[in-house]
Every structure is written in C-alpha cells, then in structure tokens.
Structure 1
Amino acid sequence: MRRVHSYIRILEARIKRLEGYIQALYPDEEVDYIIGKPPPVIKRRDRAQCPVPIIPSQEESIAETPEDFAEISEADDMAHVMLAKQLERITLTPTASNRFFGQASPIMAVQQASTLRSRLTGVPDTGLDPKEYRRPLYWTMSPWAYDYVCSPESPYVYPEFDLLLSLVTIYFEKINCLIPILHEPTFMQDLLSWKHCHDQSFGMTVLLVCANASKYSSDPRVLASPDHPHSASSAGWHYFSQVPIHRKIMLYTATVYDLQYYALAAIFIGGTSLCPVSCNLLGIGLRYAVELGAHRRRGTKRSSVDEELLKRAFWALYCLDTINNSFYGRPAGISHESLDIEYPIECDDEYWRSDDSEEAFKQPSGKPCSISNFICLIKLCEILGFATRTLYSTKKSKILSGYFGTDWEIRMVSELDSSLNKWKASLPPYLVWDADREDSVFFHQSVNLHAMFSYVQMQVYRPFLTKQSPLSASSLAMCTNAARLCTHIQEVAIARDLCVSSHTIYSAFTAGIISVLCLWGSQRPGYVGDHQKEEENLVKCVKVLGKCETLFHLAGSLRDILCEAGAVSQVDDTRDPQSFRLGSSQTESNIHDHAFDTQTVVEETTSSANTDWDLYRLILTEMGHREVGSTSAPTVDTQVTAHEASQPPDPATFNFWGDPSATYTSFEEWDTLVRDIRHLQWCAMIF
C-alpha cells in the first residue's frame, strides 16, 4: 500500500503542475471552466506552427524537464531490467535471460503480475520453481536445432604471429583511435593468452582487426591476390572472407563479439567493391544489439568492463549506420527515440582497471582523453540523424507529421544550425582544429571530426540549394564555406599521412558536388561569382579522393564521378582521371592553418553521460512544439582564418539559386540540367 500512496502523491503533484501551467496561460479564467470547454480543432496545416505552451523557454525546459519526468517514468523506464531478472529465475536455458523485452511486449506482464502479487499479499517476490511448472520439451532447444546452431565452423587461419602483432598495432594506431570499438588492454590480454585459438567468437574479431589493418600495412603477406594488377585492393580479404556473415550460433545467442564483428566488417566492406552492403551489415548488428538490450541503460551506478565494451560496440554501430545511411539516402537502422543508453565513459583504456575499485574508470585530472573524440562524434551523428529524418523525409511523412511550410523549414534549420554551433563550441581544446598540432592522435581525430562537421553542415543546407526558398542564399553560402574548409583540412591531413575513414570520403565527395553545383550556376550569363575558386576546390576534392582510392574502392568510384562532373563543367584539371593516381595528390607546400570559429559564442559544456544533451530542443522543433526567437534564416559564418575559404559567394549566385529556372531559356533545358546532375551523382555508383 505504501507504493500506491506514493504513486497517488506523484499524480497529485503532476496535476498541480499542469494546473499551474494552465493558470499561467489563462490568468483571468477559472481552471475548471477551461478544462470543461471542448478542445479546439487544429488544422493539419497549422500543426507545425503551433507551439505547445508548457515550455516557457529553452533554458527552463532543458533544466527542469528531465527532473520532472524522472520521478514519474523511472520505474517504467527500468522495467526491462526487472523483467530480465525475473526471466533468469523462471527460464531453463541461459538464452532467454540474454534477450531484451521492452515495454510493449506482453511478456512484460510476467513481471507486472509478479509485482502485483507481491503488493497484494505482502510476500516478497522470490519467483517460481521452473521445474514444477515448465515442461522441458517446450523450454529446451530441440536436438536437431541444437545440432545445427552448434555445429562447428571451419577453423580460422590467422596470420603469422609477427604479422599478427604488427596488424594489431596498426589497427589501434590508425582505426580504433577514430572509432574505439575495442578496449586495447582487454583485447591484448585475450590475444596473448591465445584465446582466439579456442574461442571462435573472439577469433573472428581478431581476423577483422587484421583485415582492416591490412589496408595500412606494407607487408606483402596481407595481399589476397598479390599477382593482380590492383593487388592493393585485395589487402585483408583472406582474413575477412573466413568469417560467415551470419554465424549459425547467433540463432541461439549473440555476444558482444558479434556486435564488434558487424562494426568491424562494415568498416572493412566499406572499402571494397561491395561498399553499399555495409549498411546491411550494420542493420544486422543493430538488431542483435537490440536483442541484447545494448540500446537501453542498465540502471547500475558503477560501470564494468563488459558494460563498457557493450556500449562502445553499440555506439560504433550507431555512428557508422547514421553516417553510411545518410550518404546512401536510406533510413537509419534504429530510431534515436528508442535509445537511452549512456555515452561511453570518458576515460582512456589504461584507466579502466585499478586495484582500488573507487579509482576504476577515472581519467586523471587535466589529462586529455582520447575517447572525447568518440563522444563528440556520437553527438554529431545524433544531429545528422535528426536532420536526415526531418529534412529528407518522404512527402507522405512530411504531410502526416506537419513537416512542411517555409516557417517550419526556417525553424528547423535554425535549430540544427544552433545545435551544430553548440557542438563546435563544446569541443575540448585538444580537438579544436589546429594544423600544427604535434600529437598525431589528436590531430587525426580533429581532422575526422571537422571533416564530419562540414559534411553535416552541407547535408543540413543542401536541400535548399535547388529550390526557391528564403534559405537559398544562406544555404549556398554555408555549403560553399563548409566545402572549402573541409577540403583545406583534408589537404593538410594528406601531408601528415591522412587516416582514411568513410567520413573522409563522404565529406570530400559532398564538397566536390557542392563545387559542381556552383560551377553549373556560373554558366548563367552575367554571373560574377568566383568561378576559379570553385574549380580549384573541385580539383582538390578529386585529389583527396585519389589519395584514398587505393584503400577505399568507393573513393575511386566517387572520384570518377567528380572527374566526369568537372569535365562537363569544363574544368580542365579533372578531365583526365589518370592524372590523380596515388602519389600525385600531394598537398601544396603553402597550406597554412585553416582554423575556423563558430558564428556565435556558446558556453562550453563538458561531455555528459546523458544522451539528451541538446536533442530535446530539436525534437520539440521537429514536432512543431517550440517557437524560435526569430523566424529569419540563420546567419552565415564567413569569418574564418583562411582567406580563401572566408569569401562568401557573390549575390548573383544567390539570385541563381533563388530562381534556378531563370538560368535557362526553357523548362526543357532546366529539366535536362537536373537530370544530368542526378546522373552525375549516381551513375557510377552501381558497384
């Protein structure tokens, strides 16, 4: 009964707060009279323009709402943890307790019935004896199914031990520093104890580590086809190909090794001629992550190595899935609304374990943390995912959700722009872009983050480049600046042995396509924009992709598209793709620091384990429930250090994009232009 009284008090407090909100909105009317009136009928067209009045201000909503919700929803939100414990008591096999059941599942009634019984009888819930009520026939795996899922896989063949250690070192230096899927001390401990020789789950992770590191190794033993003219593209394939895409044992149970495998496999396959399949692998990995409950918090106050490994694997899958699907224009594999897992702990690998349990998972004060890069990337991917599912949603989805109208677009872009600026202002000093940074790890992490930041900016503003909108002018300026800055950063990184990732390729190609669009605009009579700078930027993008193409097959395909687009746009330096082979794409010696600042000064915020860091405002805007102070288009930041990148496009260019059909003498010519651009973007992506 004590819990019932507590719940009643919570409801009373909630009602009192609601009455307070209503009274604040209608101070001259009685609350009972307002409640008794029939609700007004709101037209669908007006939905996106009607803010919910219970959010008086941004600061107040962000500061107070989580506390208000916590006391009401915490018990329900953590019900899946209680259910997992209940299933551990009543199941005859270890598999069921390893599977996640959410609130919507009728299985949740098992835990609810047990809780209700305990409340009514006052008898502590100790569970039932499964041997008394459960028939083994229906609670154990049938022999034929067991023989199938547990049948041994083909034994793995690992590289020679000296090569194995070399590849592991390369992996942690080149790849894990950007997306930390693995914990190096734990991995090395298992490797040196020869765990991979008797545990195929760990063994497949070892093989995928070798496969990914092979791209950066000069040892000829990593080549699967050393006699092939393009043998470099075969690096690591004989390691990757040994592991089945879906192991039979996963029909019975999955582990954190399986999540690590799908993240590593997606990274590797993304560099091959099968690159679009990476989205499918990530989708499979995310489904198994959900089955393990990796997307939900566990409610434990103290972290463990196993929990942190699970979080790293899940967030790696999430980031890779968000980035890859945004590039291919596909829906994300998991919606952000279904997640409440904490961010990875901001602590370097060597501080996970300690003889003093109180000191475990604590980063020494004042020491820069290499995991901060991963947390910043996660937050950036959250913004990218939000932009993708709102700005690029289907017509049907926009109509049903009220995502249409100029006002809604302006508010949404303004919120996204604000979120990006807040993200940038919150970067720790050691991840702020600095071309002269001596620490190699932090340098390449900052390259990766700022290239990704430019990519997200271009994705946010790109929808408004080719349609009449109040956002067209600012969008063109933002896209052009982002493209130039992205190219400059990657040029500097090439001179310091650029760590190639999918982010590098996607951002370089997108920057090149933005330049192509501007070059098409320059064909209008009377155009006074800087045609030469757009040509130079396009050539630089082609060079960056040329640097990456020996490691990533996709980079070669995308470079060909940019070369074709440049040839159509009469850019001489892009007409011969062979002129940009690996080795000819060295950056010029006069490249300087192209650091850039945010357009507004925002207070720095430290990384938090709460994943609702700034998405609450975005979600409210998405739903049409929040008004923005100004409905004007976002301001454009053109104050950057690099003089070349700081030049905004000419106003004549704005006119071109504001009324694109006026550039050509007939609608037929304009249709041909749009069709050709689409052809240039996708014709070579049939892999």
Structure 2
Amino acid sequence: MSSGEEDIGYSKKRKLQRACDHCRRKKSDGPQMPNNRCSRCVTRNMDCTYDEVMQVSTIFSGLISHTQSTLSKSYVEGLENRLERVEALLNKVCRQQLSSCALARTNAGRSSASKTPTLEISEALRNMPSISTPYGDTGGQSSDDEHGQGGLTEAYYKRLLSDVPSYRFHGKSSTLVLIHHAMHMKFKLMGPGPAPGEPGYQPIGQYHRHPVCSSLPLVNPVVLILPQKDLLDTLVDAYFREVNNLNPVLHEPSFKRSVLQGLHLRRGGFGAVVLLVCANAGRFVDDPRVLVPGTTELASAGWAWYDKVDRVWLLPVAPVELHDIQIHALMAAFLWSTAAPQAACPVISSGIRLAIDIGANRKMMYSSPPTLEEELYKRAFWCLVAQDWMVAYGLGRPPTIHDEDIDVGLPMECDDEYWLDDLGKPSFKQPDGKPSKITAFNCYIRLSQILLFAVRTIYAVTKVRMQATRADPNWEQRVVAELDSSLNKWVDSLPAHLRWDPERTDTVFLTQSGLLFAHYYHSQIAVHRPFMSPTTNGAPRSFPSHIICMNAARSALHVLDMVHQRTGKIPYTCVGHVTMAGTVLMINIWMERMSDRRIAGSSRDLVSVQKCVELLDHLKHVYVILCPRVQHPDHLRLDMISARAAEIIR
C-alpha cells in the first residue's frame, strides 16, 4: 500500500536500529526478534525497553569536531508521525489537483468546438478568471432545471403566481426554492388544499396585489412633453437609422405601430420609452425644436426629453416589465454620450439588476422559439450587458455582471421586418442569402467578452495579480498571448458582410464593419497598453507591445476616417476609440522627444493626429451633450486631446 493510499492517522512500524536499554553497548538481536524483544531479555524474563536517551552524533560538512545532541524517543516518533500525515495529505491534494486539471482540459475542449471564440487558459493561470461556456451552448438544459437542486422554472412560476401579471426569478439558493420543495412534499402526503369556493381557500398571489406593489405609471401621460407629430416621426426614423442599428434595444415595426395607436399617451412606461427615443435621436436631427427651450446650443439636443424622464423616474416596486429594462438601456445610451459618462454606471447596474430579477440572464426563462416580448427582453438585456462591459474598461471599474453568470443565447440574427409571418405570428426567419443587421451586435458582444477578460486579468487589482504571480511568474505574458490569439480568432470568424472593405456599397454594413474593426483595434490597445508605458529614459517597457499599440491606433483612425469619407459621419459610439487612438499616437511622439531619438513612423503619426482632431471635431456636437442642471459642464474631455494634438503639430 502506497503512502498516498494509507489513512492519514496510520503510522508504520519502524525497524529499530539500536540495542535495547539493558543491552546498551552490547550486541543485541532485538531488531531481528519478534516484537523487538531480544533473546537476553526473553531469557531473563525482563521488559525489553528502548526509552533511555540516545546520543546522536551530528556531523556537519566542513567541520572536524562532532556535536553531541540528545533526542527523546517520543519526540522522534512525533516528528515521524507528523511527516507521515503531511505526506498523506500532499498525496490526497495532488490527486484532487490532477482531477481538477483534467476537468479543466475537458471543458476547454468543449469550448473550442463552439463557434464563439474563447480563451484557452493554461494550467498556470487556473487562479485567474476564465471565459465561461459560450452563450446558449448548454446542451439544451439549464443548470437549474434539475428537481431538488435547481431553481424554479418558468412553468412553476406561472403556476405558482397565476394571479400575478409578472414574476421574479429565484435561483438555487433562494428560500422560495426550499418552500417549493416543502409544498411539494405536503401535497404528496396530505393531498391538495381547499378548492376555489371551499372554506379555507386562499388564492395564491393575493398579497402581490397590494396597492403599493401595483404597476404605477412611470411617467404620467398627462404631463408628457412630446414633440409635435412631424418632429416625432422624424426623430423615430432617425433613431432606428442611427442608433438602433448599433444598439438594437427596440423592434421597429411594433414600436411604430404602438406610437401610431397612441399607446404612449395611455401607458406611462411606454411614454417614457418614446421620450428617450426622442432624446437619443435629437443629436442626429437638424431642427431647433430638439434643443433645450431658450438656448441655441447644439449640444443641448434631446436633453429636455431626457430630463423629463429623469425627474420622475423611480425604481419599480412591482414586478419588472419590459419597459423598465428598455428605459434603463436608453437612459444609459444617452448618458454615455454626455460630458459625464460616469453617470451611466448606476443606470446600467440597476437595469441589469432588474433584468436579473426576472431571470433575463437565464436560458430557462425563455420559450423555444421565443415570443416577440421575450426576444425584446433578450435584446434589452444584452444591450445593457454590452454597455456594462464597455464602461468597465472605459472607466476602469468592476463590471456589474460577469459572463459566467449568463447562459441565455445572444439575440436572434433576424431583422425586425422578418420577426412575424404573414399571419402576424412570430417566425424569426431571415431570408436565405440576406445578412442580418443584428449579426454585428452579436459580434460586438463576443469581442467585448474578450475585452472583459483583459479587464479582469491584466487590469486586475493587486491581490489577484499577486496570486497569479505566485502561481506563474510569467502569467502576464501568457495572458497577453492568449488574448492576442482570441482576437485573431474573432477576426477570422467575422462573416463576409462585416469584413472590412472600404469599397462596400451598403452604408449600413460599412458603418457596422467600421465600428467592429475600430473596437477590435481598441481591444488590441487595451491588451498591450500596460506594457507600452515609457520608463524613466523614455523607452517603452516592451517594444512589441509598443509597436502593436501604434499600429492599432493608426489602423483605427484610418478605418474611421474612411467611414467618415464614405458616409459623412462616423458611429457615435466610437468617440472613445478615437480618443484612445489619438492619445496613444501622442504618447509615441512625446516618447520620441523624451528619448532624443527617432522612432519609426512618428512623422506620419502627426498626420494621423490631425485626422483624430478632425474626427473629434465632427463628433463634438453629436457626443458631448450639455446638462442644463450643471453650471460648469465639462467640455474638456474631447477638446483636451484636440488642443494637445494642435500643440504637438505646431
């Protein structure tokens, strides 16, 4: 039996190497006799003991003299027993570690078979956060579907809360799950309770209808300040043309049909959605009526409608409805385009929490195929997640939700006009050979997933980095290499209509392709930026990372400049990409001046910086929106880089 298979408390019987106490300094056959009793003690009928102190001669290398030390028998045996227990524990831990490594390799093999690019994390990086199973690839079964251990399924919710218009999601650890099992056992032992109309019958969900929990109107339709009919139609068209193609929160046909039917005048929640659509679209409409009344400042476009919702909006007490999540997604999109983008963080976080409240992040809560409302839930949820992950990197803050907390699939790649069939029933059938506009959004989420992994590893807090360094001193180089590999796989997985082609005739796909590649180069800079910072003498920490950042910055500006030349505009969400690329190029120029040597490509960087200034000047009125309630709005976020670039050029 090996030492790893023995019980921890088991101690081997050691072979004695010395004479007993009575036979000390005499020849003794005790070690060869049964029970270690020497023949002399057996003959004399004496106890054969080994308790006296022995002299140990310890010889140290390089020393001539000997040092005599005394060790008791009990002390030596205690040390040997402790050593044996440690060996047994180490063997047990090693067996568990080998099992976990095998499991990690198995999961990595499963993930590599998926179309979604994932990161293959080496064994040395086991302590770092890893990319979870691709969304929707759960083998057709949610992890919470098992009876006795899983959460409550949608069918049970609809049965339990049949009198309630909505429901909330509860996972495995919820107390309601335990209550459900107790009720199930009671039903088996005692049978069903009183039927409706019988004494003692208590309708399930009656306490949910308390007035304080009723669905209160988010915005009173009586006090709505809606734009005029012609301006409202123009704003709605501008929203779906400029915003929804990149941030698909809404379904265009059903939204326009609801507006035409006047639903926004009867339901406050939908009225707030309409106001936020007008607010987001105001920056794309050249009409003085979109400005804040009493001002001619173009940067105030749309703020009056947003301010109306912001003043009366409250977190819902009643179960969450679709409009609640859509309002958060639209508010966050508006705030992220203001001079105070950090204001979008709490809105995004509360929106995701509301979505989690109804299980929008769980596959088990959706039908197959989904209904129109369920697909809108999924769209709004993923829009919030995409914003959350971008804010996490853009502001250097922890994300609200991690990818391992999500197992729902990505939005269906079907354009809005193909959601319903001729009979008005959901079909979600995209015509063969016609690319979908939603594909770009799904690709954007997959790329943001890689960026999120970089945020949680390269930009992790010191505690996590120290743990990874103890496991593998070279973990940063390994993570960067794996991130580069994942980015390359992402580019290779792009469909033909989203690959970069400046001669593409379809302006929608050209704009989407430009956004994706700008985000791709932005992610490359994010991966290598920590290693390009200059040292005291002006040289970069890592020349390969420095070169990658420079090339990515130039490529991003080139792509966005081509989109601007072809369409006369660039995606409004790319202002951060332009700012990052221009800043990286400016750092390159300053590093050249600090080191008093010529860096390859620095002369053409001046031309690229000039392009950056022009792009930022174009985005200045689209992106930076003034807040009337702020006395000193921050204009410097975009103007700072423009002024700095102009100073360098001079």
TM-score relative to the length of structure 2: 0.73
* Matched residue, 2:546: 476
* Matched residue, 1:216: 284
**2:579 touches 2:638 (CA, 8 Å); kept in 1?**
yes
> Which is further off, 69-78 or 271-280?
69-78
* Matched residue, 1:315: 382
Deviation at 1:345, TM superposition (A): 0.7
Residue 550 of structure 1, aligned match among 588, 600, 621:
621
* Matched residue, 1:506: 576
Q: Which letter maps to 2:236?
A: V
* Matched residue, 2:264: 196
Once residues 62 and 286 of structure 1 are traced to their aligned partners in structure 2, the CA distance between those partners, rounded to angstroms, is: 29
Q: Where does the alignment leave 5 or more consecutive residues of structure 1 unmatched?
A: 1-28, 574-687
* Matched residue, 2:305: 239
Residue 159 of structure 1, aligned match among 199, 224, 227:
227
Deviations 1:411-459 (A, max 9, x none): 2112211111111111111111111111111111111111111111111
Once residues 235 and 218 of structure 2 are traced to their aligned partners in structure 1, the CA distance between those partners, rounded to angstroms, is: 30
* Matched residue, 1:532: 603
Once residues 79 and 292 of structure 1 are traced to their aligned partners in structure 2, the CA distance between those partners, rounded to angstroms, is: 19
**2:292 touches 2:304 (CA, 8 Å); kept in 1?**
yes
**1:83 touches 1:111 (CA, 8 Å); kept in 2?**
no
Q: Which letter maps to 1:545?
A: L
Q: Which letter maps to 1:509?
A: T
Deviation at 1:104, TM superposition (A): 1.9
* Matched residue, 1:139: 207
Deviation at 1:226, TM superposition (A): 5.5
Q: Which letter maps to 2:89?
A: P
Kindly tell me the number of residue pairs found equivalent between the two proteins.
533
Once residues 158 and 343 of structure 1 are traced to their aligned partners in structure 2, the CA distance between those partners, rounded to angstroms, is: 34
**Structure 1 residues 61 and 243 mapped into 2: Cα distance closer, same or farther (>3 Å)?**
closer
Once residues 246 and 403 of structure 1 are traced to their aligned partners in structure 2, the CA distance between those partners, rounded to angstroms, is: 52
* Matched residue, 1:186: 254
Residue 286 of structure 1, aligned match among 352, 360, 368:
352
Once residues 105 and 160 of structure 2 are traced to their aligned partners in structure 1, the CA distance between those partners, rounded to angstroms, is: 48
Once residues 174 and 152 of structure 1 are traced to their aligned partners in structure 2, the CA distance between those partners, rounded to angstroms, is: 26
**Structure 1 residues 515 and 189 mapped into 2: Cα distance closer, same or farther (>3 Å)?**
same
Residue 586 of structure 2, aligned match among 516, 521, 529:
516
**Structure 1 residues 425 and 77 mapped into 2: Cα distance closer, same or farther (>3 Å)?**
farther
**Structure 1 residues 131 and 199 mapped into 2: Cα distance closer, same or farther (>3 Å)?**
farther
SS in structure 1 at match of 2:89: coil
Q: Does 1:250 align with 2:316?
A: yes
Once residues 255 and 617 of structure 2 are traced to their aligned partners in structure 1, the CA distance between those partners, rounded to angstroms, is: 34
Residue 89 of structure 2, aligned match among 38, 45, 48:
38
Deviation at 1:116, TM superposition (A): 5.2
Once residues 203 and 104 of structure 2 are traced to their aligned partners in structure 1, the CA distance between those partners, rounded to angstroms, is: 54
**2:232 touches 2:278 (CA, 8 Å); kept in 1?**
yes
**1:174 touches 1:499 (CA, 8 Å); kept in 2?**
no
Q: Where does the alignment leave 5 or more consecutive residues of structure 2 unmatched?
A: 9-87, 115-132, 626-633
Q: Does 1:354 align with 2:421?
A: yes
Deviation at 1:178, TM superposition (A): 1.0
* Matched residue, 2:327: 261
Q: Which letter maps to 1:513?
A: T
Once residues 374 and 128 of structure 1 are traced to their aligned partners in structure 2, the CA distance between those partners, rounded to angstroms, is: 50
Q: Which letter maps to 1:449?
A: L
**1:368 touches 1:430 (CA, 8 Å); kept in 2?**
yes
Deviation at 1:488, TM superposition (A): 0.4
Once residues 198 and 393 of structure 1 are traced to their aligned partners in structure 2, the CA distance between those partners, rounded to angstroms, is: 48
Once residues 531 and 128 of structure 1 are traced to their aligned partners in structure 2, the CA distance between those partners, rounded to angstroms, is: 82
Deviation at 1:344, TM superposition (A): 0.6
Q: How does 1:332-371 map to 2 (within 5 A)?
A: 332-355=399-422, 360-371=427-438
Deviation at 1:35, TM superposition (A): 11
**2:148 touches 2:181 (CA, 8 Å); kept in 1?**
no
Once residues 470 and 496 of structure 2 are traced to their aligned partners in structure 1, the CA distance between those partners, rounded to angstroms, is: 37
**Structure 1 residues 372 and 562 mapped into 2: Cα distance closer, same or farther (>3 Å)?**
same
> Which is further off, 61-70 or 202-211?
61-70
Once residues 388 and 181 of structure 2 are traced to their aligned partners in structure 1, the CA distance between those partners, rounded to angstroms, is: 35
* Matched residue, 2:164: 94
**Structure 1 residues 498 and 342 mapped into 2: Cα distance closer, same or farther (>3 Å)?**
farther
**Structure 1 residues 110 and 127 mapped into 2: Cα distance closer, same or farther (>3 Å)?**
farther
> Which is further off, 246-255 or 194-203?
246-255
Once residues 470 and 566 of structure 1 are traced to their aligned partners in structure 2, the CA distance between those partners, rounded to angstroms, is: 21
Once residues 219 and 272 of structure 2 are traced to their aligned partners in structure 1, the CA distance between those partners, rounded to angstroms, is: 14
Q: How does 1:372-391 map to 2 (within 5 A)?
A: 372-391=439-458
Identity value in percent: 30
**1:323 touches 1:503 (CA, 8 Å); kept in 2?**
no
Deviation at 1:520, TM superposition (A): 2.3
SS in structure 1 at match of 2:175: coil
Once residues 485 and 7 of structure 2 are traced to their aligned partners in structure 1, the CA distance between those partners, rounded to angstroms, is: 37
Max radius of gyration: which structure?
2
Once residues 154 and 237 of structure 2 are traced to their aligned partners in structure 1, the CA distance between those partners, rounded to angstroms, is: 38
Once residues 250 and 563 of structure 1 are traced to their aligned partners in structure 2, the CA distance between those partners, rounded to angstroms, is: 42
Q: Which letter maps to 2:575?
A: I
Q: How does 1:395-414 map to 2 (within 5 A)?
A: 395-400=462-467, 405-414=472-481
Q: Which letter maps to 1:409?
A: E
Q: How does 1:544-583 map to 2 (within 5 A)?
A: 544-553=615-624, 557-566=636-645, 571-573=648-650
TM-score relative to the length of structure 1: 0.69
Q: Which letter maps to 1:168?
A: V
**Structure 1 residues 356 and 406 mapped into 2: Cα distance closer, same or farther (>3 Å)?**
farther
SS in structure 1 at match of 2:399: coil
**Structure 1 residues 109 and 128 mapped into 2: Cα distance closer, same or farther (>3 Å)?**
farther
Once residues 539 and 193 of structure 1 are traced to their aligned partners in structure 2, the CA distance between those partners, rounded to angstroms, is: 49
> Which is further off, 448-457 or 498-507?
498-507
Q: Which letter maps to 2:240?
A: F
Deviation at 1:150, TM superposition (A): 6.1
Q: Which letter maps to 1:192?
A: L
* Matched residue, 1:485: 555
Once residues 390 and 316 of structure 2 are traced to their aligned partners in structure 1, the CA distance between those partners, rounded to angstroms, is: 26
Q: Which letter maps to 1:251?
A: V
Once residues 77 and 467 of structure 1 are traced to their aligned partners in structure 2, the CA distance between those partners, rounded to angstroms, is: 57
Once residues 332 and 171 of structure 1 are traced to their aligned partners in structure 2, the CA distance between those partners, rounded to angstroms, is: 27
* Matched residue, 2:484: 417
Deviation at 1:509, TM superposition (A): 0.8
Once residues 222 and 196 of structure 1 are traced to their aligned partners in structure 2, the CA distance between those partners, rounded to angstroms, is: 19
**Structure 1 residues 403 and 274 mapped into 2: Cα distance closer, same or farther (>3 Å)?**
farther
Q: Which letter maps to 2:649?
A: D
**2:151 touches 2:170 (CA, 8 Å); kept in 1?**
no
Deviation at 1:221, TM superposition (A): 1.4
* Matched residue, 1:426: 493
Q: Which letter maps to 2:446?
A: K
Residue 106 of structure 1, aligned match among 169, 172, 175:
175
* Matched residue, 2:529: 462
SS in structure 2 at match of 1:548: helix
Q: Which letter maps to 1:288?
A: L
Deviation at 1:521, TM superposition (A): 1.6
**Structure 1 residues 141 and 558 mapped into 2: Cα distance closer, same or farther (>3 Å)?**
same
Q: Which letter maps to 1:38?
A: L
